[in-house]
Amino acid sequence: MADQALAARYHEVRARIEAACGQAGRSVDDITLVVVTKFHPPSLVRDLVELGVEHVGESRHQEAVAKHQELSDLRLTWHFVGQLQSNKARAVAEYCQVIHSIDRASVVQKLGTIDHTVEGFIEINLTGDPGRGGVEPEQLGQLVDTVLETPQIALRGLMAVAPQDQAPAAAFERVVALQDVVTSRAPLATDLSLGMTGDFEEAIQAGATHLRIGSAITGNRPPAP
């Protein structure tokens, strides 16, 4: 049986999502909750599945591929949310159905050599620090074009992490303002992967369709393996 504290946190987060949807005049059915399980053992993922979780997110290939292998009996959609190096892109696409962190042409080119389709989000870098993950907003249009030339990627929309030093609502508004760059080229790519433990209610208000929530549900993360 799933551990009681985990169950309580999960139900509490679900209730907060429902309340935030109510306040924003949105339907919970339009929200996909991705529970980010990085650094946690496979047993926690099993407990989450017992609670009804259908989407999990991981951020490191080596850890994720091992976990996925151990849990291959479970019916789950796997999301890759961490920074993605182009030399790992093909391997990640073997077990993740959704990649949230497409941020450069070299990753797109590698994904263009797989023999199946993955869903993809383009990650925007909101920090102003080019060393962080995400494409610079000025380069977004060009990257969208590259993705759209790649039939292996079904583009869903944009993803971002709100920077620590900014109000999340303002950060998310910047992402929403960039949506035109995507939808003018790909009218169906309207999804938004925004919102983590500290800011998912603001993300729902801003229009997020995918929440990537870790510690509010899983409890504190163990140190990185």
- Closest residue to ligand PLP, Cβ-based? 214
Query: 59, 125, 146, 205: which one contacts ligand PLP (CB under 6 A)?
Result: 59
Distances (CA, A) of 65 to 26, 116, 190, 224: 35, 18, 29, 15
Cβ closer to ligand PLP: 9 or 212?
212
Contact 41, 62 (CB under 8 A): no
User: Could you say whether residue 38 binds ligand PLP (CB under 6 A)?
Assistant: yes
Asked if residue 110 lies in contact with residue 89, where contact means CB atoms within 8 angstroms, the answer is yes
Residues that contact ligand PLP, how many (by CB under 6 A): 14
Q: How far is the CB of 47 from ligand PLP (least distance, A)?
A: 17
- Only one of the segments 13-21, 41-49, 70-78, 210-218 lies at the binding site for ligand PLP (rule: CB under 6 A); that segment is 210-218
* 88 is an interface residue for ligand PLP by CB under 6 A: no
Q: How far apart are the first and last CA of the chain?
A: 26
* Interface with ligand PLP, residue 183, by CB under 6 A: no
Answer yes or no whether residue 81 interacts with ligand PLP by CB under 6 A.
yes
In the range 134-173, which residues lie near ligand PLP by CB under 6 A? 161
With binding defined as CB under 6 A, does residue 20 bind ligand PLP?
A: no
Q: Does 196 bind ligand PLP (CB under 6 A)?
A: yes
Asked if residue 92 binds ligand PLP (CB under 6 A), the reply is: no
What is the nearest approach in angstroms of ligand PLP to the Cβ of residue 101?
A: 7
Q: Which stretch binds ligand PLP (CB under 6 A): 64-72, 111-119, 171-179, 206-214?
A: 206-214
- Of 36, 76, 102, 178, the one binding ligand PLP by CB under 6 A: 36
Residues lying near ligand PLP in the complex (CB under 6 A) are found at 36, 38, 59, 81-82, 161, 196-198, 212-216
